[in-house]
Amino acid sequence: MTVLPTQQLVDHLFRHESGKMVAVLTRIFGMHNLEMVEDVVQESFLKAMQFWKFDNMPDNPAAWLMQTARNKAIDIIRREQYFHKYSAELSGQLLADTEATVGQFFSEAEISDSQLRLIFACCHPQLKEEDQVALTLKTVSGFGPSEIARALVTTESTIQKRLYRAKEYIREHQLQMEIPAGYELNKRLETVYVVLYLLFNEGYNSLKADELIRKDVCAEAMRLCLLLTESKAGNKPATFALLSLMCLQASRFDSRLDEDNTIVLLEKQDRSKWDMRLIQLGYKYLNFSSSGDTLSIYHIESAIAAEHCMAATYEETNWKRMLQLYDMLLLQKPAPVVKLNRAVVLMQTGEVNAAIDMVWKIEEIEKLLASQHIYSAVLGEMYKQKGNFTEAQKLFRQSLQLVTSLPEKKLLETKIAACISRLK
């Protein structure tokens, strides 16, 4: 078994355990005490770093962290001498039962329930949507402000402002950790889906310079989505469709990069490396999502991912069916990136000129070309397919100036070299 260095182990556990700890402690201390909760979690991890580095590694580090957080919570409550300043659930409890009362929240079932409550609380409709997303990524999944900024394509200072604004609103209006019902539940679920979708995409196409795929981030999104499917509140067709999409996308992890960390494009991927277990799970959850009479964007995106998985080879992909699915998706989600992806499918059907025209007709395309590398990279590939290597090279260089991922830089440099070779 590989033994991780203390710092590496603590970083790994922070990603996987901090969200659980924040959820349980917030259930105990209330949403209005989020700052204090985050301090308790930070103290627990600092204590772990100090204690473990002297060969005091516990058999179960995650349980050790939870116990440390539990003990700290008990100490705080006993020191304050009363419960009423904390969560509504604890306000009627006797101080003499502090240890038993706090301890009950640390069972596996209660930890899961606390995480669900925290997800729904962070997605409260009284908070601005951009604040909901930032707060959920911070509190539920342990993202730092810089990571959230990359995921949401904004600045770290903007994220800091959103987090501060959200916490201030929670404190001033005393928002509670609760799962809504009826119409409010369905409305809140939409925001939860957006957050989980963003979380998975950050891992699948990471903007981290040295890591194209962040499997731990994708796994966290899938874990939270699975948690949602297992709850009465989240057991909905759209939830299953979203989980299906994640499984189908994650199935291709091992084929997306080669041994020297170079991107392998879809048409050249070794499909024998695709994870059939995840593909089968994706199909299963897609079938589960077929109940009801609502077609969500996640149903359509999962169907698109399934089309890729069903094709034995790249050449056998049913591009006409893909085009139909993208037309359906555009009706519900007319976003620039969806139009870009539809143009790619159009190119695969042989309509290169029509694909190029479609990209140039995307709203504010000049701004997108100047700010997001994917647009110039895709458009460059289209001009390359058309045989216009001068324009293709120009667009690839533009994309290279914007990209942060080292594997993507290597891919673009290879494309530029190929264009130069053809121009000689």
The secondary structure of 35-104, three-state, reads HHHHHHHHHHHHHHHHHHCCCCCCCCHHHHHHHHHHHHHHHHHHHHCCCCCCCCCCCCCCHHHHHHHHHH
Average pLDDT of the chain is: 86
Q: Given this model, what pLDDT does residue 8 score?
A: 63
Reported confidence tier of residue 151, pLDDT bands at 50, 70, 90: low
How far is Cα of residue 268 from the mean position of the Cα atoms in its chain?
Answer: 26
Structure-token pair, residue 198: 């963003």
> For 161-189, what is the mean pLDDT?
88
Reported confidence tier of residue 359, pLDDT bands at 50, 70, 90: very high
The model's pLDDT over 16-45, given as tens digits with 9 standing for 90+, comes to 788 889 999 998 888 888 888 999 998 988
Reported confidence tier of residue 257, pLDDT bands at 50, 70, 90: confident
> Radius of gyration over alpha carbons of the chain, in Å?
24
Say yes or no to pLDDT of 385 above 90. Answer: yes
How far is Cα of residue 276 from the mean position of the Cα atoms in its chain?
Answer: 22
Say yes or no to pLDDT of 290 above 80. Answer: yes
Reported confidence tier of residue 2, pLDDT bands at 50, 70, 90: very low
How far is Cα of residue 324 from the mean position of the Cα atoms in its chain?
Answer: 27
Lowest mean pLDDT among 1-5, 106-110, 379-383: 1-5
Contact 309, 248 (CB under 8 A): yes
273: amino acid identity, one letter: K
Q: Given this model, what pLDDT does residue 74 score?
A: 85
Contact 30, 75 (CB under 8 A): no
Q: Given this model, what pLDDT does residue 10 score?
A: 63
Task: Work out the percent of the chain whose per-residue pLDDT is above 90.
Answer: 46
Q: Given this model, what pLDDT does residue 95 score?
A: 53
3-state per-residue secondary structure call for 100-137: HHHHHHHCHHHHHHHHHHHHHHHCCCCCCHHHHHHHHH
Helix residue ranges per DSSP H, 142-181: 145-151, 156-173
- Higher pLDDT among residues 217 and 121, named by residue: 121
DSSP assigned state of 31: G
Lowest mean pLDDT among 89-93, 107-111, 408-412: 89-93
For CA atoms 78, 83, 85, 90, the dihedral sign is positive
Q: Given this model, what pLDDT does residue 82 score?
A: 55
The model's pLDDT over 177-216, given as tens digits with 9 standing for 90+, comes to 888 887 888 888 988 998 889 888 877 765 444 444 567 7
Structure-token pair, residue 187: 């409305």
Structure-token pair, residue 254: 């091992």
